[in-house]
Chain A
């Protein structure tokens, strides 16, 4: 029943899509609500919405988390400034597309042996370094080996821990040999440490020179101050519409916001949630607010009283009003968590798992069953974890009072929090950056023998499923396994996940985007420089 009203709505939608005001996903939902079939809606999106990108202009980014200690060494990449630059002047084997799927970067295709223990990547023959050399399989081998081996201090060492050998089969083919099957290896290649570097004569990787094979050439960079880049005409990818990129590192959230409002910057990473609604009223500014795979976790040591009792863990999960936390701490810019570390922004997300709701009565009865009524526990937190971290802890402690639980909030110093508190205190708050797949996340912090098993959780079935899912190449089977694991983590696990914070950043209205944004990092997975353009 396509009536006039629906037609008007569709026209408005198409307009909104053309101007980049709706994402593809919402466009599809609305169009289908207006009585259009899925395939017709896809076609409509393609014709109506795909604004033709224009070339030219200097794109000015105001970027947070820039430090004077930032470096070109990909092994110790840590700040957002480094990660932004890594995606702008360097390149990776694969990338996460705007719709969350895995796409090609330097590698054009990849395939595995049936047990997923050997992966072969075909490199793009057009890929070249800024200094002129072609990107060869040998360069990739050197780049990856940089993170491996005895003397490596790379943070990505454990990520490639299962890799036994990397071989250059011919100029454009690289094979990774693993000690066990890992269906996620192509996803791992999007990790920000694993940049493709040119090779030295002696076979080591040359990270010092600042040479890369990304969309822009790094002309100058003063760490913690600014960076300027110009388009690399020999880039192998599609996009890079801006002629030049200018990044100013601005750590003060107010200053970043001012830069965006006054037009000193065309795009700004990390806006504060509390001013989000005010900024949305500015006519020249668009706030982008997308769910991410970052997470706030509250791991309890499952081998230590009182957390060794599953009823106590369950009671603590039930005494949290997550909706109130999202509303008051994140100002709505977060996805409610359900105590399994698998966000809707990750692949294989299980949709149909029942949400744990605030239920102090049930929590009370569970504590009674466990024989620890009037439970009193302390919870460590530091200001630096996330905006409003201490407030979050205090609000939760108020909520838990209704269940007769006394959560005393311990404020720890921000300095050295991750060496003195995390993994040392029985219950604390942690922030996790986005990881590309559930396997990476679970292997890192939930596997029984992981160094960072932050809750000391040991669940035989979970660990069995984890290993099975890792080598499973059938997506349907894999999704089922991740669903079962999520249920186990939710009901038995030692980690409370209040919410997954969104990425909130802003652009000026003259910046054109596809309307879809990768959820891996800020600024469209930090690929804004090569994916966006100026409308006017």
Chain B
């Protein structure tokens, strides 16, 4: 167990280094965007004089490097500063949105992960059957279609034609939990369709890969039923690649859903990031990107730890 704690600590340290590098990259990418912040805030109506005054008020006349370190100082203490545009604390701008994103991601993951893995096991069991082919074609079709297209198709049938679920996932505080689930069902379903194929196919491939191993043959020879061969003998050894794919897809559910947010008008963090970029709201962009980067790093870490825990050979190295 001590090894694992050591590994986690080492990986966390590396994660912090990566975050630092990412923050530098993001900062200078924002600087490279055409136009400047004051002009972006004032829009088409900007006059030279207005821009000058606003630049002064925003402290944009300081050198970029100086502003970067000022910001970094705050970020270390989890103070991401104030939004340049609205003057509100960054955390209050994106905190609520991040919670919404996490809620939707959890909702989708709770459906998608078990669904994909169970489906993967079934198609591995019934490989090359009609069921396998149909499942493959359907999931590949859904992953190959752009998310917004899937969203529109779902809206067309589930809300416009059949009126079963609301098309607009706008939330308010007075909603009960069930109402919330009902409101956000279509965006969650869209995400499920998008991430299922990847996880299901990895499960199928990993299991089929193992089926040629001698110990599987042994299990078959002693008369174990096919489903038990897969669930008891093949699956435990297939966890490592599956967990990796699951982690990647979970990260995607948090960072890659801006199109779904737009289509369903869901107030998540992706929309906030797009707005912030178009307004050059640097502190918000930085904070969003850092959150995304941290999400990836933490989930990858979780995947590695998960892979070790499920594999006795890695758990007890000689």
Q: For the complex, what is the distance from the CA of A223 to the CA of B158, rounded to whole Å?
A: 29
If the complex has contacts A68-B276, A158-B47, are A153 and B39 also in contact, measured as CB distance less than 8 A?
Answer: no
Please, how many angstroms separate the alpha-carbon atoms of A489 and B53 in the complex? 34
Let me know if A410 is at the binding interface, CB within 8 A: no
The 8 A CB mask of A251-282 against B (1 = contact, 0 = none) is: 11011001101101100000000000000000
Q: From A69, A151, A155, A418, give the contact of B85 (CB < 8 A).
A: A69
Residues of A within 8 A of B275 (CB): 67-69, 224
Q: Report B-chain residues with C-beta under 8 Å of the C-beta of A418.
A: 35, 39, 43-44, 46
Q: Is the CB of B34 within 8 A of A415?
A: yes
A151 touches B53 (CB 8 A): yes
A223 with B43: CB separation less than 8 A: no
Whether the Cβ atoms of B155 and A224 lie closer than 8 Å is no
The closest CB in chain B to the CB of A254 belongs to B152
Instruction: Check A261–B160 contact: CB distance below 8 A.
Output: yes
Nearest CB of chain A from residue B257's CB, rounded to whole Å = 14
B262 touches A251 (CB 8 A): yes
> Is A248 engaged at the interface, CB distance under 8 Å to the other chain?
yes
Query: Across the interface, do B265 and A224 meet the contact criterion of CB distance under 8 Å?
Result: no
By the criterion CB–CB under 8 Å, are A255 and B264 in contact?
yes
Whether A416 touches B34, Cβ cut-off 8 Å, given contacts A67-B279, A71-B85, A255-B168, is yes
Nearest CB to that of A415 among chain B residues? Answer: B34
A419 touches B33 (CB 8 A): no
A420 within 8 A of B: yes
Instruction: Report the bound CA distance from A68 to B90 in whole Å.
Output: 11
Nearest CB of A to B105, in Å: 18
A415 / chain B contacts, CB cutoff of 8 Å = 33-35, 278
- A68 near B93: Cβ-Cβ < 8 Å: yes
Is A97 part of the contact surface with B, judged by Cβ < 8 Å? Answer: no
B145 proximal to A (CB < 8 A): no
Q: Tell me if A68 and B33 are in contact (CB < 8 A).
A: no
Chain B residues within 8 Å of A78, by CB: 42-45
Q: Find out whether the CB atom of B96 lies under 8 angstroms from the CB atom of A222.
A: yes
CB B9 to nearest CB in A, in angstroms, measures: 37
A250 close to chain B: CB less than 8 A = yes
- B46 contact set on A, CB distance < 8 A: 155, 418-419
Of listed A68, A419, A422, residue having the most chain B CB within 10 A: A68
A74, B93: Cα distance in complex, Å: 20
Main secondary structure of the interface of B (DSSP, over half): helix
Whether the Cβ atoms of A262 and B167 lie closer than 8 Å is yes
Residue interface bits A119-152, CB-to-B below 8 A is 1, else 0: 0000000000000000000000000000000011
Query: Which of chain A's residues has its CB closest to B43's CB?
Result: A78
Contact B53 A255 (CB under 8 A): no
Q: Chain A residue with minimal CB distance to B264?
A: A255
A167 in the interface (beta carbon within 8 A): no
Cα distance, A413 to B35, chains bound together (Å): 11
Taking CB as reference atom, which chain B residue is nearest A223? B86
Instruction: Identify A71's interface contact among B33, B86, B96, B263, CB under 8 A.
Output: B86
Q: Is A465 an interface residue (CB 8 A)?
A: no
Would you call A255 and B265 a contact (CB within 8 A)? yes
How long is the Cα–Cα vector from A249 to B86 in the complex, in angstroms? 17
A204 to B83, CA, bound (A): 24
**B155 near A258: Cβ-Cβ < 8 Å:** yes
- Quick check: A153 and B50 within 8 Å, CB to CB? yes
Identify A250's interface contact among B53, B83, B265, CB under 8 A. B265
B86 near A69 with CB under 8 A, answer: yes
Rounded to whole angstroms, the CA-CA distance of A416 and B262 in the bound complex is 23
Does B272 lie at the interface of the complex (its beta carbon under 8 Å from any beta carbon of A)? yes
Known: A248-B265, A261-B160. A419 touches B39 (CB 8 A): yes
**What residues of chain A lie closer than 8 Å to B272, measured between beta carbons?**
68, 224
Chain A residues, CB < 8 A from B34: 413, 415-416, 419-420
Complex-state Cα separation, A291 to B37, whole angstroms: 34
Is A40's beta carbon under 8 Å from chain B? Answer: no
Residues of B95-144 whose CB lies within 8 A of A: 96-97
Docked complex Cα distance between A154 and B39 (Å):
13
Question: How far is the CB of B222 from the nearest CB of chain A, in Å?
Answer: 58
- CB within 8 A of A258: which of B41, B168, B172? B168
**Tally of B interface residues using CB under 8 Å:** 49
Residues of A within 8 A of B41 (CB): 69, 76
Decide yes or no whether B74 CB sits under 8 A from chain A.
no
A76 neighbours in B (Cβ, 8 Å): 41-42
- Measured between beta carbons, the chain B residues less than 8 angstroms from A251 are 262
Task: Find the B residue at minimum CB distance from A225.
Answer: B267
B116 to chain A, nearest CB (A): 28
A153 touching B42, Cβ below 8 Å: yes
Q: Which residues of B contact A249 (CB under 8 A)?
A: 265
- Give, as a whole number of angstroms, the nearest-CB distance from A527 to chain B: 22
Bitwise, A219-248 to B at CB < 8 A (1) or not (0) is 000111110100000000000000000001
- Chain B residues 9 to 53 lying within 8 A of chain A, measured CB to CB, are 33-36, 39-50, 53
For the complex, is B289 an interface residue (Cβ under 8 Å from A)? no
User: In the bound complex, do residue A416 and residue B159 qualify as a contact, i.e. CB atoms below 8 Å apart?
Assistant: no
B166 beta carbon closer than 8 Å to chain A: yes
Q: Indicate if B170 sits at the interface (CB-CB under 8 A).
A: yes
Pair A416/B39 contact, Cβ less than 8 Å: yes
In the docked arrangement, what's the CA distance between A419 and B83, Å?
22
Chain A residues whose C-beta falls within 8 Å of the C-beta of B271 in the assembled complex: 68, 224
Shortest beta-carbon distance from A153 to chain B in Å: 5
CB distance from B287 to the nearest CB of A (A): 12
CB contact list, B144-195 vs A, under 8 A: 152, 155, 159-160, 163, 166-168, 170, 172
The yes or no answer to A451 lying at the interface (CB within 8 A) is yes
The reply to whether the CB of B304 lies closer than 8 angstroms to some CB of chain A is no
Min CB distance, B168 to chain A, in Å? 5
Q: Does B209 contact A (CB under 8 A)?
A: no
Would you call A322 an interface residue if the criterion is a C-beta within 8 Å of the partner chain's C-beta atoms? no
Task: For A248, give the chain B residue with the smallest CB separation.
Answer: B170
**Are A416 and B265 within 8 A (Cβ)?**
no
> What B residues does A226 contact at CB under 8 A?
170, 172, 267
Residue picked from B49, B170, B281, most chain A C-beta under 10 Å = B170
A68 — which chain B residues lie within 8 A by C-beta? 86, 93, 97, 271-272, 275-276, 284
Q: How far is the CA of A70 from the CA of B167 in the complex (A)?
A: 25
User: Does any Cβ of B come within 8 Å of A157's Cβ?
Assistant: yes
Which residues on the A side are within 8 Å of B278 (C-beta)?
A: 67, 415
Considering the complex, give the chain A residue whose CB is closest to the CB of B155: A258
- A155's nearest neighbour on chain B, judged by CB, is B45
Per-residue 0/1 for A415-434: is the Cβ within 8 Å of any B Cβ (1 yes, 0 no)?
A: 11011101000000000000
Q: In the complex, A265→B54 CA distance in Å?
A: 38
Q: What separation, in Å, do the CA atoms of A415 and B36 have in the docked complex?
A: 10
In A319-338, the 8 Å CB interface with B consists of none
Nearest CB of chain B from residue A202's CB, rounded to whole Å = 19
Residues of chain A lying within 8 A (CB to CB) of residue B39: 416, 418-419
Once A254-B263, A418-B44, A419-B46 are accepted as A-B contacts, the answer to whether A264 and B53 lie under 8 Å apart by CB is no
Candidate in B87, B163, B167 with the most chain A CB atoms within 10 angstroms? B167
A69 and B281 contact, CB distance less than 8 A: yes
Chain A CB within 8 A of B224 CB: no
Q: CB distance B42 to A264 under 8 Å?
A: no
Contacts of B168 in A (CB 8 A): 62, 248, 250, 255, 258-259, 264-265
How far is B50's CA from A451's CA once the two chains are assembled, in angstroms?
Answer: 13
10 CB contacts below 8 A, A to B, read: A67-B279, A68-B284, A71-B85, A71-B87, A151-B53, A153-B42, A153-B53, A226-B172, A254-B263, A451-B47
A69-B276, A226-B172, A418-B43 are known; give 18 further A-B pairs, CB within 8 A.
Answer: A68-B86, A69-B41, A69-B281, A71-B86, A78-B43, A154-B50, A222-B267, A224-B271, A251-B262, A255-B262, A255-B265, A258-B155, A259-B168, A259-B265, A264-B168, A416-B40, A418-B44, A419-B35
For the complex of A and B, list the 10 residue pairs with the smallest distance between their C-beta atoms, beginning with the closest. A416-B35, A416-B34, A69-B85, A155-B45, A225-B267, A419-B39, A419-B35, A68-B275, A258-B167, A78-B43
